[in-house]
Amino acid sequence: MDLNFLGIQLLNGLQLSMLLFMLAVGLSVVFGLLDVLNLAHATFYMFGAYFALMVSRLTGDFWVALVVAPLLVVLIGIVFYETLLKRIRGNHMIQALVTFGLLFVGFDLVRMIWGNGFHSVPEPALLAFSVPVFGQTFPAYRLFIIGIGLLTVVLLYFGLERTRLGAVVRAGVDDRETAMLLGINIDRAFFITFCVGTFLAGLGGVVAAPVFTVTPGMDIEILIPVLIVVVIGGPGSLKGAILGALVVGMADTFGPVLIPQLSSFLIYLLMALVLLFRPRGLLPTRSGAH
Amino acid sequence: MIPARITKRDPLRAVILILLFGAAFVGAPVANHYWLEILTEIGILLIFVVGIDFLVGYTGLITLGHAGFMGVGAYSLVWIAHIQGIPVSIAMPLAILAGAVVAVIVGMLVTRVSGVFFIMVTLAMSMLFYSWAFKARRPFGGDDGLSVAGTIRLDLSSIGIDLDDQLTFCLFVLVIALLIYLLFEWLVRTPFGQTLGAIRQNENRVRALGCPVGVYKVAAFTVAGAVAALAGALHVQSTEFLHPNVSYWIKSGEGLIIVIVGGMGTLVGPVIGTFLFVLFHKGVESLTTHWQFWMGLTFIVIVIFAPDGIYGRLRTLAGSRKRKRKLHQPLDEEADVRADA
């Protein structure tokens, strides 16, 4: 097999991994902090893509959409947090079920507003060129996605490891009760983490919009691999989300090339293997009895 | 820790069952084509849903991938009967067996995690089946589906029953649904079923008593998987058309919604839920194409304001007029404890 070809696939895999990471990290850390499984996280992603469609049509500028659309998604997230999530605090199963109901509501809401059809968001003119790499050309926009993903990794790493809020979040994930006994306000940390996660889900939707088709149903399409990322990486940690995203992204890209017979099962097989040998994920954070 | 809700006599349950099944059996012979279709759908969905309640309400395993087993049943039946040409009377038990075997394997994997994690993993496993079925073009037609008309229904002509007749098939499905319901009513009363209830309430305590909790969970998962495979086999017999959508997550989700809206852990609640769901679906469908919006919204409202479901509310209403209320009140709190586990 041609090394240049593998190089291009590596970039494709990295691009998918970064997108998965942006979605998984919010889901994973929110889950790690308060055991809240937000299935509607994928709905935020879908709304990010649709808001990008709306804003870039209104203004004709992708860059405006890149900033405005995720903020609109955060706004929806805050409304959801204040009206629903807060009300049912403490009951994790009910929270998961409510977000599950929202998945249905979001799906039809998108159909009501934008219709059933496929939409596409043009990539920004500034990045509508290809870069020669590995003896071939690679779309600059995809490199941009990788860049955004790496930037997110770096910012989150410093946010979690070097700031006070990050320390609070890590303490909360590690041992919630002890952290609360020490007088740490977990709820506030949770709210901020939730907003950051929602922002990243929206941002993921915006940057994915020019690459994938924007359509109702794009939520569940991304939800399954993202859940697998969380299961494989182990919930709660940045490192787990990075590792899980890389495993799933690469498996999904190289699978069809290297083992075509297994391509559609590969990520599920990997998940099954992780469940068999490391049921708490490859990089678990919890030390408690969970 | 025997849940008294199972052992205590419950006249309300009997009344509801007689009313609903009575209406179905009495209504079927006078129903037209449209209503026969609805009744058949109710029967098949009911089989699927009581199996989910057995897992969700009694064992405490909240699954969001149960339609995967419906897919296993439907695809196995089509493969054995339609493609291999083996008689349906043999193919049907084999399809159910296939569901059970797959459920043992999947169950051993997924019961390694619990709680909210279980939701994620079951969802992913069912989507594994869906993505396979979606692409399985060669024998099964992939996402175009496969018409299996004329080869897939059970041949009972030797005992004078013609299942190609719509009314007969509808009654056949309703009888099976009733039998499956009674099977679960019996199962939850057995020591096996009681142990599952104990596992739901306090898994660690049961484990400390020396009970192999994992084996019990896989066993429950297997029973529910086999029953879902039966529902899948009946579904493909009813529609005579095989399509991957039978295993789609929306199907699993609807099943879970029906169980919770009806009242989980009661078996009769999901029966009420099934009737309401199908009728509501048909009603809303004729008014709007945005059925999922209203279903999702209704579900959220019920989950937040009436987590014990319709049957739980009915029982509270019926109980508040009588005297026993104080005595049994603490047991109603059980639903909250379980949901939190």
Q: Which of B3, B7, B20 has its CA nearest to residue B314?
A: B20
Three-class SS state of B142: helix
Sorting pLDDT into bands at 50, 70 and 90, what band is B6? very low
pLDDT (mean) for B129-147: 88
CATH code for position B184 = 1.10.3470
Q: What is the pLDDT of residue A128?
A: 81
Kindly determine whether residue A271 and residue B112, on different chains, have CB atoms separated by under 8 Å: no
Residue in this structure with the two tokens 């006249």, named with its chain if needed: B11
Which of B106, B277, B292, B302 to probe by mutation at the A interface, max A CB count within 10 Å? Answer: B292
- B246 near B129, Cβ under 8 Å? no
CA distance A53 to A56: 5
Per this entry, what is the length of chain A?
290
CA distance A262 to A264: 6
How close A57 gets to chain B, by Cα (Å)? 25
Chain A residues with CB inside 8 Å of B128's CB? 265, 268
Q: Which of A52, A206, A219 has its CA nearest to residue A144?
A: A206
Residues 255-294 on B with a CB inside 8 Å of A are 256-257, 260, 289-293
Chain A residues with CB inside 8 Å of B291's CB? 108
How close A105 gets to chain B, by Cα (Å)? 4
How close A42 gets to chain B, by Cα (Å)? 13
Residues 205-244 on B with a CB inside 8 Å of A are none
Q: Is A5 within the bounds of a domain?
A: no
Q: Is A92 on the interface with B (CB under 8 A)?
A: yes
Say which of B120, B125, B297 has its CB closest to residue A37: B120
pLDDT (mean) for B165-189: 95
Q: Is B337 on the interface with A (CB under 8 A)?
A: no
**Ranges assigned E (strand) in chain A:** 130-133, 136-139
Identify residue A116 by its one-letter amino acid code. N
- B74 near B47, Cβ under 8 Å? no
Torsions phi, psi of A137, nearest 5?
A: -110, 150
Q: Residue B2 burial (CB < 10 Å; 0-12/13-18/19+)?
A: exposed
Kindly determine whether residue A108 and residue B116, on different chains, have CB atoms separated by under 8 Å: no
Sorting pLDDT into bands at 50, 70 and 90, what band is B340? very low
Q: What is the pLDDT of residue A286?
A: 58
Structure tokens that stand for B242 in this block? 């095989």
- B274 near B42, Cβ under 8 Å? yes
CA distance B258 to B277: 7
Rounded to 10°, the helix B116-135/A218-233 angle is 120
Chain B residues with CB inside 8 Å of A35's CB? 115-116
Beta-bridge partners for A119: A214
Q: What is the pTM of this model?
A: 0.86
- B228 near B66, Cβ under 8 Å? yes
Q: Which of A194, A198, A203 has its CA nearest to residue A65?
A: A203
Q: Quick check: B259 pLDDT over 50? A: yes
Q: Is B131 on the interface with A (CB under 8 A)?
A: yes
Sorting pLDDT into bands at 50, 70 and 90, what band is B8? low
How close B294 gets to chain A, by Cα (Å)? 7
Which of A114, A224, A269, A280 to probe by mutation at the B interface, max B CB count within 10 Å? Answer: A224
How close B322 gets to chain A, by Cα (Å)? 30
Kindly determine whether residue A96 and residue B116, on different chains, have CB atoms separated by under 8 Å: yes
Q: Is A265 on the interface with B (CB under 8 A)?
A: yes
Residues 16-75 on B with a CB inside 8 Å of A are 62, 64
Sorting pLDDT into bands at 50, 70 and 90, what band is B322? low
> To the nearest whole number, what is the mean pLDDT of chain B?
88
Structure tokens that stand for A104 in this block? 């249905």
Q: Is B112 on the interface with A (CB under 8 A)?
A: yes
**Ranges assigned E (strand) in chain B:** 146-147, 241-242
Count of domains in chain A? 1
Q: Is A100 on the interface with B (CB under 8 A)?
A: yes
Tell me which residues of chain A have a pLDDT lower than 50: 287-290
- A106 near A40, Cβ under 8 Å? yes
User: Whole domain around residue B203: which residue ranges?
Assistant: 4-340
CA distance A162 to A157: 8
Question: Left, alpha or beta for B150 (phi > 0: left; psi -120 to 50: alpha)?
Answer: left
Q: Is A282 on the interface with B (CB under 8 A)?
A: no
**Pairing relationship of beta strands B241-242 and B146-147 according to DSSP bridges:** antiparallel
Q: Is A196 within the bounds of a domain?
A: yes
Chain B residues with CB inside 8 Å of A87's CB? 304
Chain A residues with CB inside 8 Å of B135's CB? 264
Sorting pLDDT into bands at 50, 70 and 90, what band is B338? very low
Query: CA nearest A289 in B: which residue?
Result: B204
Q: Is A239 on the interface with B (CB under 8 A)?
A: no
Kindly determine whether residue B127 and residue A224, on different chains, have CB atoms separated by under 8 Å: yes
Buried b / exposed e along B79-95 (16+ C-beta atoms within 10 A): bbbbeeeeebeebbebb
pLDDT (mean) for B130-146: 88
User: Whole domain around residue A42: which residue ranges?
Assistant: 10-118+130-215
Chain B residues with CB inside 8 Å of A96's CB? 62, 116, 119
Q: Is A237 within the bounds of a domain?
A: no
CA distance B70 to B66: 7
Residue in this structure with the two tokens 């990089």, named with its chain if needed: A283
Q: Is A88 on the interface with B (CB under 8 A)?
A: yes
Q: Which of B317, B274, B298, B285 has its CA nearest to residue B53?
A: B274
- Tell me the count of A-B CB pairs closer than 8 A: 114
How close B129 gets to chain A, by Cα (Å)? 9
Residues 155-194 on A with a CB inside 8 Å of B are none
Chain A residues with CB inside 8 Å of B64's CB? 100
What are B48-81's pLDDT values in tens digits?
999 999 999 999 999 999 999 999 999 999 999 9
H runs (alpha helix) in B188-267: 191-201, 203-208, 213-239, 249-262
Q: Quick check: B276 pLDDT over 60? A: yes
Count of domains in chain B? 1
DSSP per-residue string spanning B165-200: SHHHHHHHHHHHHHHHHHHHHHHTTSHHHHHHHHHH
Sorting pLDDT into bands at 50, 70 and 90, what band is B321? low
- A1-8 long-range contacts, CB within 8 A, separation 24+: A3/A134, A4/A134, A4/A135, A4/A136, A5/A134, A5/A136, A7/A133, A7/A134, A8/A133, A8/A134, A8/A136, A8/A138
